């Protein structure tokens, strides 16, 4: 995934968007302080399978994704343009956006599951019908590039969405169990890394580290770091005041992590948050050259001076077993226990 090229594409696309879209988005953002809960899910419900980002090259992956959702007991309605393609995208912008708008407008659909990430979701943000989304609250699940949708929908409507495996991702026993507990049993989840020693005397996988101890309470926001920070200056980032910010990434060298945290610092976002959780950063190693700050040093520079509860290493991101977390959901984090938990329900009941 080449996020540097993706960010350049976002900048070019934003410059070409009609100003009227930005004006209406800004107006909508002023009226979204109210949290909106998606309708609860049950087996037998119909869910939409859409592809808002990169195209899938092998139709077999689409079939497997559909079988995963059917194994949960859902009826699956594929988006009209699920198999479309334009360049590396799963269809033209208007096609991918219409699949999202149609899924929210369809009263028979109870949730929307994203097929995969990649790039391109941010191009759709001015094309989404936020009034329809606000009036038809339903769960949206996905991660990576889907962060752009999560952030915009949260900022524009207040709707809780879910950062977790895409339909083509890993659905092993860990992720399947999480999905069932969260969506079917409506459990107030506690998110704590599982221990896996692999026969070693000390745990090496899923390690966490405290940046600063303490507890914090607030709504959860965030997602993929490079996609999230690429929205800076747009009306598609939520208010940071009193929020718990979580971030994760893949294939980003430490100097780019530093640059993105610098962006959040310079825009005043970091000074507003109540807590910070960093997930996995897969293949985030220094490149060749004169050397690099470590991620630990970068967090000590930007996060530790905030004097808020913070830790890193949560099972969030581009890993096989990952937490399914509600963006916009109210959580309490305990940095000393390197965990966080839901304190309010994240679904509405008819």
Q: How far apart are CA 316 and CA 321, in angstroms?
A: 8
Q: Judge whether 318 counts as a catalytic residue.
A: yes
- In our burial notation (b when 16+ CB lie closer than 10 A, e otherwise), range 204-239 reads eebebeebbeeebebbbbbbbbbbbbbbeebbbbbe
Structure tokens belonging to residue 128? 């989404």
Which listed residue (53, 98, 234, 318) is catalytic?
Answer: 318
How large is the C-alpha radius of gyration of the chain? Answer: 19
Q: Which of 54, 150, 234, 248 is catalytic?
A: 248
Tokens of residue 193, six digits: 């890394």
Catalytic residue among 144, 151, 226, 234: 144
Based on the residue annotation, tell me whether 248 is a catalytic residue of this protein: yes
Does the annotation count 217 as an active-site position?
no
Active site residues: 144, 248, 318
């Amino acid at each position: 995934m080449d996020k540097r090229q993706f960010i350049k594409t976002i900048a070019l696309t934003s410059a070409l968007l009609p100003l009227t879209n930005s004006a209406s988005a800004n107006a909508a953002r002023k009226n979204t302080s109210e949290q909106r809960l998606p309708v609860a899910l049950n087996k037998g419900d119909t869910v939409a399978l859409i592809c808002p980002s990169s195209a899938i090259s092998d139709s077999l992956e689409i079939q497997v994704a559909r079988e995963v959702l059917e194994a949960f007991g859902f009826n699956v309605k594929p988006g009209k343009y699920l198999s479309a393609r334009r360049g590396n995208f799963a269809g033209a912008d208007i096609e991918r956006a219409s699949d999202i708008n149609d899924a929210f407008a369809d009263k028979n659909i109870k949730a929307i599951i994203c097929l995969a990430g990649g790039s391109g979701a941010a191009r759709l943000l001015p094309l989404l019908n936020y009034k329809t989304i606000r009036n038809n609250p339903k769960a949206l699940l996905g991660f990576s590039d889907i962060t752009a949708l999560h952030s915009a929908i949260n900022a524009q409507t207040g709707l809780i969405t879910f950062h977790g495996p895409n339909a083509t991702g890993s659905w092993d026993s860990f992720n399947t169990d999480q999905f069932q507990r969260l969506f079917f049993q409506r459990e107030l989840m506690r998110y704590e890394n599982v221990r896996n020693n692999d026969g070693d005397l000390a745990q090496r996988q899923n390690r966490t580290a405290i940046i600063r101890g303490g507890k914090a309470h607030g709504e959860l926001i965030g997602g993929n770091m490079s996609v999230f920070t690429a929205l800076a200056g747009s009306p598609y980032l939520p208010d940071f005041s009193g929020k718990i910010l979580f971030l994760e990434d893949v294939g980003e060298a430490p100097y780019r992590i530093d640059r993105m945290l610098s962006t959040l610092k310079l825009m005043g976002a970091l000074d507003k948050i109540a807590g910070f959780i960093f997930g996995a950063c897969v293949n985030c190693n220094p490149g060749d050259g004169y050397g690099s700050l470590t991620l630990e040093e970068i967090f000590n520079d930007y996060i530790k001076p905030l004097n808020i509860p913070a830790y890193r290493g949560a099972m969030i991101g581009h890993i096989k077993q990952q937490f399914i977390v509600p963006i916009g959901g109210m959580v309490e984090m305990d940095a000393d226990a390197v965990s966080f938990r839901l304190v309010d329900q994240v679904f509405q009941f008819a």
